[in-house]
Amino acid sequence: MAYGYNGKILRVDLSGEEISVDESNEIFYRRYVGGRGLALYYLLKELKPGTDPLGPDNLLIFATSVLTGAPLQGTSRFSVAAKSPLTGTYGEAEAGGHWGPELKFAGYDAVIIKGKAKKPVYLWIHDGEVEIRDAGKIWGKPTKEAQEGIREELGDNRIRIAQIGPAGEKLVRYGCVINELRHANGRGGMGAVMGSKNLKAIAVRGTKRIDIKEPDKVRALAKWFNENYLKNADVSGLHSLGTPQFVLPLNASGALPTRNFRDGAIEGAEGISGERMKETLHVGQTACYACSVACKMTVKVDEPFKVDPAYGAPEYEGVASLGSCCGVTDLKAVVKANEICNAYGMDSISTGVSIAFAMECFENGILTEKDTGRIDLRFGNGDALVKVTEMIAKREGLGDVLAEGVKWAAERIGGGAERFAMHVKGKEIPMHEGRWKTGVGLGYAVSPTGADHVQMEHDPCFEEEGFFIDQLKPIGILEPVKSLDLGPRKVRLFTYLQHWWSLGNCLDICLFTTAPARVWKIPQVAEMVNAVTGWDTTVWELMKVGERATTMARAFNVREGFTMRDDWLPERFFQPLEAGALKGTKLSKEAYGQAIAAYYQMMGWDETGVPTKAKLEELDVGWVADKLEK
């Protein structure tokens, strides 16, 4: 008997309207676990190199894990993966909420979609049954109206819906997948892939709970979490203020991305802080499935913009990208721009960085009011922020250019615009300062999906002895490493933590619940997997799952033509910050190059960053070497 998983992976060919099911055994689930690992298995096996990301042959994969749906805190997440239309690399994004567990309850561990429907459709998955249904009435609708339309048509308000908005339909390259109007598989354009297939939504409803090997052990673990989570200072802050709690500390440190990463702090940061949001706009708090942290804030605005509380509230990334990165400290404007992102289905990070790019181009005369449609697109203009966000979502005017992402937009605009395009491999840089958090900066460069801030826990945690280092001792990190260090000890820290966080994307477990910064201890994650599945796994085996997935993702990118030359940051990061407590801080190109070379060696790749056949065999995916040779 299978515990923790259904053993069934749903396949849908929209071109031929064909539905089938793959059945896999325990070895498959133990080797790949779910999420990232499962998705990469199918993408490397079945997707031909050079496939158009927005063509019908791209695979779009929704994947859960062996933990998804267990009544344990942090196990609500699911992954969406495909070849990214924003970067051309492996693309992946995770989200929480209730959709992932509901898919498991409906009888499937993953959904693999290929082809393109002749007209807009949505999938209806319920207790093992699958239908392809007409989406004509909801195509073009914002996410709230579409969700209401599906639930009304199917007659059940308990249905969970993962969908795209009009931005995904219009193939905005950073269109995202939204569930419950506020949980976003945000990065890399998975919503655009979904739109290219004429697929509006996947609605799921299930009444069967997953089988758990040791339910008493699972209950004991959940009880332990509930008794201890508020003792963790970071998690108690998340419970009170959500991720916007980080705005003021980062601003004080000089590491709050400001004015397109030119500065590290902004005057008036209090105006966009989590504290201000809680005091003035907050109307509630929500949680993901089975999670007591409840880190999701809900806000409402009546004037000068109307903001519907159904769309939640911006996370830290949205506050900083739409706020400080654009020089904006008008909280209501930031919240409105975030609502547009959720209603139209766009990644708030890429949206904000694209607008910040355009603002810097405008201030340097590369763009003029003729290009912007008479909008005064200067840093700090909250009204312009809201207007241009909507223009991107609708692909109107300058918004049509910015909807391509900063790499593509800079090439189209010309005139030196590329020096203001903050991206790696085409994906806009998130809201963490790589000149201070050097491990995060390294992660931006070598991440398989382009610039990504969740490749490791962030550097400042590990500067001193204490809780964070103690949490890492089970994987062999025993001593502190300074934030500004970029030597071999930092590369080792990064590499081990990348394995751990890659495992998180295979297990689809929320980083806000797990070590090294939060509640679940590293050995407890192995306990959780064993209690749910009945396996006898260890931390060592699980770390190998994470390393395997990262190496498979690297192989995917190598196969698509990416090389070591793509593992680099924008020139701005090798120039000094112009304002804030870290004014004058910059990265060294020489040290950075040495760190990347050391990383390749620690990963068991060759000097150009290509995984060796021996490493692939050691990771038990020797078949991937054949894909690289071909």
Mean pLDDT in residue range 493-516: 97
Q: At what angle do helices 331-344 and 382-394 cross, to 10 degrees?
A: 10
Q: Where are the beta strands (DSSP E) in 40-107?
A: 60-63, 78-83, 90-95
Half-sphere exposure (Cβ direction) of 123: Cα atoms closer than 13 Å: 32
Identify any residues that bridge with 441 across adjacent strands, giving them in sequence order.
none
CATH number of 249-415: 1.10.569.10
At the top level of CATH, which class does the domain 8-205 belong to? Answer: alpha beta
Q: Hunting for tokens 């705005």 — which residue is that?
A: 247
Mean pLDDT of the chain: 97
Given its phi and psi angles, is residue 417 left (phi above 0), alpha (psi -120 to 50 degrees) or beta? alpha
Whether 171 contacts 193, CB under 8 Å: no
**What pLDDT, in 10s, does the model give residues 410-419?**
999 999 999 9
Query: What per-residue confidence (pLDDT) applies to 269?
Result: 98
Q: Which fold has domain 438-629?
A: 1.10.599
Identify any residues that bridge with 83 across adjacent strands, giving them in sequence order.
90
Q: Is the pLDDT of residue 629 over 90?
A: no
Among 502, 611, 606, 596, which residue's Cα sits nearest to residue 554?
A: 611
**What pLDDT, in 10s, does the model give residues 275-329?**
999 999 999 999 999 999 999 999 999 999 999 999 999 999 999 999 999 999 9
**What pLDDT, in 10s, does the model give residues 447-488?**
999 999 999 999 999 999 999 999 999 999 999 999 999 999
Query: What per-residue confidence (pLDDT) applies to 1?
Result: 78
Mean pLDDT in residue range 194-219: 98
Q: Cα separation of 254 and 263, whole Å? A: 8
**What pLDDT, in 10s, does the model give residues 578-618?**
999 999 999 999 999 999 999 999 999 999 999 999 999 99
**What pLDDT, in 10s, does the model give residues 337-366?**
999 999 999 999 999 999 999 999 999 999
**Residue 176 DSSP SS3:** coil
Give residue limits of the domains in the chain. 8-205, 249-415, 438-629
**What pLDDT, in 10s, does the model give residues 93-135?**
999 999 999 999 999 999 999 999 999 999 999 999 999 999 9
By the 10 Å C-beta count (0-12 exposed, 13-18 middle, 19+ buried), 30 is classed as: middle
Among 68, 44, 47, 69, which residue's Cα sits nearest to residue 56?
A: 47
Among 47, 27, 30, 64, which residue's Cα sits nearest to residue 505?
A: 64
Q: Is the pLDDT of residue 426 over 80?
A: yes
Q: Cα separation of 25 and 265, whole Å? A: 52
Q: Is the pLDDT of residue 630 over 90?
A: no
Q: Hunting for tokens 């590290």 — which residue is that?
A: 264
